[in-house]
Amino acid sequence: MDQNPDLGSRSGIDWESAQALLQTETAAYVTRNPRSFALAQRAGQHLMFGVPLHWMNDWGTPFALQVAQAAGAQLLDADGHCLSDFCLGDTGAMFGHSPTPVARAVARQVAHGITAMLPGEDAAVVGELLCERFGLPYWQFAMTASDANRFVLRWLRAATGRRKLIVFNGCYHGTVDDVFVDLVGGRPTQRASLLGQVHDLTAHTVVLEFNDLAALEEALSQGDVACVLAEPAMTNIGMVLPEPGYWEAAQALIQRHGAALVLDETHTISCGPGGYARAHGLQPDAIVLGKPVGGGVPCAVYGFSAEWAGRAVRARHAAPGGHSGIGTTLSGNLLAMAAMRATLSELMTAPVYAGMLATAGTLADGLREVIARHRMPWCVTPLGARTEFQFRTTPPRNGGEAGTAMDAELEHLIHLALLNRGVMITPFHNMILVCPATRPADVQKLLAAFDQVVGKLVAV
Ligand SMILES: Cc1ncc(COP(=O)(O)O)c(C=O)c1O
């Protein structure tokens, strides 16, 4: 087999067989899900696009699968199929669906007040737990990781008096407008798919390739950068791991040029109870975490080092009174605080992670074995409880390389065929996540289904 990583995503595949498979799988999905179809039709009467969020149609299924209920690592659809869920709400349910400690805490709190625009005892406890877990002393709250990222950018621009932000090509940090700038042919380019965006995002956003220290130094040396916002390992354009020593060198540069390093751990929290940073001895200036921090209850957190929190507080005091542009009414509500307290104290713990990481290891080994047996030019990259297979022979070094290996058509076909075999993985790229409740039987089911599907794609 040719080992050139740039073979292209379709290498090794018999595309005619793939097209035939797509037809068979589409027909099978329609036949297997009549109740989902009926519900989707009904929702289509009054929901734009027929779904609560337009991108719920991006699963590549003929119509949206409808959920009856979910528990642990299992999801029951409207037609009574029990699916092994490796999507887990794209990380929102990384500790399993309705994990018992959170379900208990939420049930208790819901009867005693949901939102009051004031804190209770849980707020102090959550602050202590976050400090202990992540090593940053000062925290604030938001409803989503998107908002948390937005707010951190506001604080750091205010604290530094600088306007610019550095992000990495192919990044995703939620619906934060500032980050939707890509490198196209080496030029910063505002993403064309953004709707209703009237500002020139390239004016204040600098986009670089990941793992490129020279480019980072050059951008920082202009002296106008407030912060670098990054996932410690990129997870949203497929997986891109930092090269050894990258972050240590990058952070030294960032510090030398008076900017802050913000690590968005929303996905990389898959690495351990203190995220990628703690697992790898990094000390960022700020951390953002959303999705699973409330065990699936909507909430997010962001924390600062003492120095950056001090600068942010001084910026607030120096500004005229009135709206800061930071915070929303429901942020940090009583219910979210109860959910975070339960998650941080009972789920985001070393023993829980030990189990998840072992399961993910078995899964990654199994995927590699299937890929090797079918001689596909694909690679597998694990990141704690998260694993990704990518359509290239070697792991990509940056977002540009990772983006080239993506293939929405092929991904959708594989995901659809897996769904029809009772296995769900994330609809965007090939991310597979395990939770504490994922059983060996779920992993074997996924591997058997993957084996079957890859076997049908392979060129002979
Ligand atoms: C790294 C990262 N940050 C932030 C977000 C935004 O999370 P949310 O959609 O919950 O706001 C995402 C979503 O996928 C993400 O992957």
Cα–Cα distance measured from residue 453 to residue 97, given in angstroms and rounded to the nearest whole number: 27
Residues 378, 379, 381: CA angle, nearest 5 degrees: 150
From atom 2 of ligand 1, which residue's Cα is the shortest distance away? 173
- 70 three-class SS: strand
Cα–Cα distance measured from residue 228 to residue 347, given in angstroms and rounded to the nearest whole number: 30
Instruction: Locate the ligand 1 atom nearest the alpha carbon of residue 236 and give its number.
Output: 16
- Candidate from 151, 180, 266, 271 with most ligand 1 atoms within 8 A of CB, to mutate: 266
Q: What is the pLDDT of residue 351?
A: 98
* pLDDT(211) > 50: yes
Q: What is the pLDDT of residue 8?
A: 76
Strands (E), 67-171: 67-71, 74-77, 82-85, 138-142, 164-168
Q: What is the pLDDT of residue 89?
A: 97
Cβ atoms of 342 and 105 closer than 8 Å:
yes
153-184: per-residue pLDDT in tens?
999 999 999 999 999 999 999 999 999 999 99
Distance 255 CA to ligand 1 centre (A): 26
Mean pLDDT of 359-371: 98
- Candidate from 143, 180, 267, 269 with most ligand 1 atoms within 8 A of CB, to mutate: 267
272-319: per-residue pLDDT in tens?
999 999 999 999 999 999 999 999 999 999 999 999 999 999 999 999
Distance 83 CA to ligand 1 centre (A): 24
Confidence bin at 4 (pLDDT 50/70/90): very low
Q: Which H helix or E strand runs over 318? A: helix 306-318
* pLDDT(202) > 80: yes
Strands (E), 231-341: 260-264, 286-289, 300-304
Mean pLDDT of 64-81: 98
Cα–Cα distance measured from residue 106 to residue 159, given in angstroms and rounded to the nearest whole number: 36
Cα–Cα distance measured from residue 151 to residue 304, given in angstroms and rounded to the nearest whole number: 12
**Residues of the chain above pLDDT 90, percent:** 96
Distance 92 CA to ligand 1 centre (A): 9
Q: Chain centroid to CA 297: how far?
A: 16
Mean pLDDT of 391-408: 96
Lining residues, ligand 1, CB within 6 Å: 90, 144-146, 149, 172-174, 231, 236, 264, 266-267, 290-291
Distance 293 CA to ligand 1 centre (A): 12
- Candidate from 175, 265, 291, 297 with most ligand 1 atoms within 8 A of CB, to mutate: 291
* pLDDT(128) > 90: yes
Note the pTM of the prediction, 2 decimals: 0.97
From atom 4 of ligand 1, which residue's Cα is the shortest distance away? 173
- Candidate from 94, 167, 172 with most ligand 1 atoms within 8 A of CB, to mutate: 172
Instruction: Locate the ligand 1 atom nearest the alpha carbon of residue 291 and give its number.
Output: 10
* pLDDT(3) > 90: no
Distance 264 CA to ligand 1 centre (A): 9
Distance 300 CA to ligand 1 centre (A): 10
From atom 5 of ligand 1, which residue's Cα is the shortest distance away? 174
Cα–Cα distance measured from residue 135 to residue 368, given in angstroms and rounded to the nearest whole number: 35
Q: What is the pLDDT of residue 2?
A: 38
**AA identity, residue 143:** M
Sequence-distant (≥ 6) Cβ neighbours of residue 163 within 8 angstroms: 157, 204, 224, 226
Cα–Cα distance measured from residue 223 to residue 209, given in angstroms and rounded to the nearest whole number: 19
- 218 three-class SS: helix
20-54: per-residue pLDDT in tens?
999 999 999 999 999 999 999 999 999 999 999 99
Instruction: Locate the ligand 1 atom nearest the alpha carbon of residue 265 and give its number.
Output: 1
Sequence-distant (≥ 6) Cβ neighbours of residue 17 within 8 angstroms: 456, 457, 459
Q: What is the pLDDT of residue 1?
A: 34
Instruction: Locate the ligand 1 atom nearest the alpha carbon of residue 91 and give its number.
Output: 14
* pLDDT(375) > 90: yes
* pLDDT(398) > 90: yes
Instruction: Locate the ligand 1 atom nearest the alpha carbon of residue 144 and give its number.
Output: 11
Mean pLDDT of 425-447: 97
Cα–Cα distance measured from residue 445 to residue 454, given in angstroms and rounded to the nearest whole number: 14
Cβ atoms of 213 and 250 closer than 8 Å:
yes
DSSP 8-state code for residue 53:
S
Return the bridge partners of 205, or none: 165
* pLDDT(338) > 90: yes
Length of the chain: 460
Cα–Cα distance measured from residue 370 to residue 106, given in angstroms and rounded to the nearest whole number: 41
Sequence-distant (≥ 6) Cβ neighbours of residue 267 within 8 angstroms: 91, 231, 235, 236, 291, 386
295: left (phi over 0), alpha (psi -120 to 50) or beta: left
Instruction: Locate the ligand 1 atom nearest the alpha carbon of residue 298 and give its number.
Output: 10
Mean pLDDT of 127-152: 98
Q: What is the pLDDT of residue 5?
A: 53
Residue 405's nearest CA partner among 18, 19, 4 is 4
From atom 15 of ligand 1, which residue's Cα is the shortest distance away? 173
- Candidate from 153, 167, 173, 178 with most ligand 1 atoms within 8 A of CB, to mutate: 173
Distance 238 CA to ligand 1 centre (A): 14
Distance 413 CA to ligand 1 centre (A): 25
Using DSSP bridges, classify how beta strands 187-190 and 138-142 pair: parallel, antiparallel or unpaired: unpaired
